[in-house]
């Protein structure tokens, strides 16, 4: 029997043309793919979460592929992941997404090296979570530090978890604060 029971999914796309300066020739697109599932461990303590984490790889792949299909694999420069656990669950029920969601995005994108940032919370339905994103090949590319809000009005219910993946097409519009730039990434260690 599957541990994954999806109630609903959502796809949100934000397109930014300017931030008060000139309109850019290439707008920034950020997209979040979310799935709301029944929490198989709501209201109880389960010592072994590894089977749940392993099964979530399939959900991660589904959401990651949806983002790649939406934005185009060749366009993706930032990523992240998030989980909002309903109040009958615990933070560790969302932490399983670190491996499952991160693995899925790396697999679909061709194994980028940078760690996948994340955010998670235990909260009521309708909670909104700011999710940090950064460059997929090197974590310290300052122009690509950004965030996207994720959430669904009626989720997660107390016995649910909302899992999200976020991808985007580039740096902040009008980024101009120096630091490492993507064209200067040479080490290929995921850091610099």
Asked whether the beta carbons of 70 and 13 are under 8 A apart, the reply is yes
Q: What is the domain partition of the chain in residue ranges?
A: 6-184
Residue 161, both tokens: 């978890």
CA distance 148 to 73: 19
Q: What is the per-residue pLDDT for 188?
A: 82
CA distance 143 to 123: 31
pLDDT tens, residue by residue, 80-92? 999 999 999 999 9
- Assign 187 a pLDDT band (cuts: 50, 70, 90): confident
Asked whether the beta carbons of 85 and 121 are under 8 A apart, the reply is yes
Question: Residue 130, class by beta-carbon neighbours within 10 Å (0-12 exposed, 13-18 middle, 19+ buried)?
Answer: exposed
The CATH number of domain 6-184 is 3.40.109.10: no
pTM greater than 0.85: yes
Exposure string over 131-163, b if 16+ CB within 10 A, otherwise e: bebbbbbbbebebbbbbbebbbeebbbeebbbb
Alpha carbon 192 to chain centroid, angstroms:
21
pLDDT tens, residue by residue, 124-182? 999 999 999 999 999 999 999 999 999 999 999 999 999 999 999 999 999 999 999 99
- Assign 190 a pLDDT band (cuts: 50, 70, 90): confident
* 6 Cβ neighbours under 8 A, 6+ residues apart: 35, 36, 37, 59
Asked whether the beta carbons of 113 and 137 are under 8 A apart, the reply is yes
CA distance 192 to 187: 6
Residue 20, both tokens: 């008060």
pLDDT tens, residue by residue, 12-58? 999 999 999 999 999 999 999 999 999 999 999 999 999 999 999 99
Asked whether the beta carbons of 34 and 86 are under 8 A apart, the reply is no
* 69 Cβ neighbours under 8 A, 6+ residues apart: none
Name beta bridge partners: 138.
Answer: 190
Q: What is the per-residue pLDDT for 192?
A: 81
Q: What is the per-residue pLDDT for 45?
A: 98
- Assign 189 a pLDDT band (cuts: 50, 70, 90): confident
pLDDT tens, residue by residue, 71-117? 999 999 999 999 999 999 999 999 999 999 999 999 999 999 999 99
């Amino acid at each position: 029997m599957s541990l994954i029971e999806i109630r609903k999914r959502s796809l949100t796309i934000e397109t930014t043309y300017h931030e008060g300066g000139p309109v850019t020739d290439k707008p920034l697109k950020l997209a979040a793919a979310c799935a709301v599932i029944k929490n198989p461990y709501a209201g109880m303590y389960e010592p072994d979460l590894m089977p749940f984490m392993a099964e979530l790889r399939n959900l991660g792949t589904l959401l990651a592929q949806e983002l790649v299909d939406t934005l185009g694999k060749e366009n993706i420069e930032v990523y992240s992941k998030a989980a909002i656990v309903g109040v009958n669950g615990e933070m560790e029920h969302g932490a399983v997404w670190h491996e499952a969601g991160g693995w899925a995005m790396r697999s679909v994108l061709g194994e980028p090296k940078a760690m996948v940032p994340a955010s998670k919370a235990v909260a009521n339905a309708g909670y909104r979570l700011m999710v940090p994103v950064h460059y997929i090949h090197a974590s310290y590319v300052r122009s690509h530090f950004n965030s996207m809000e994720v959430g669904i009005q009626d989720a997660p219910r107390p016995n649910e978890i909302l899992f999200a993946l976020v991808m985007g097409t580039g740096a902040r519009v009008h980024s101009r604060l120096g630091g490492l730039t993507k064209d200067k990434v040479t080490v290929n260690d995921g850091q610099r």
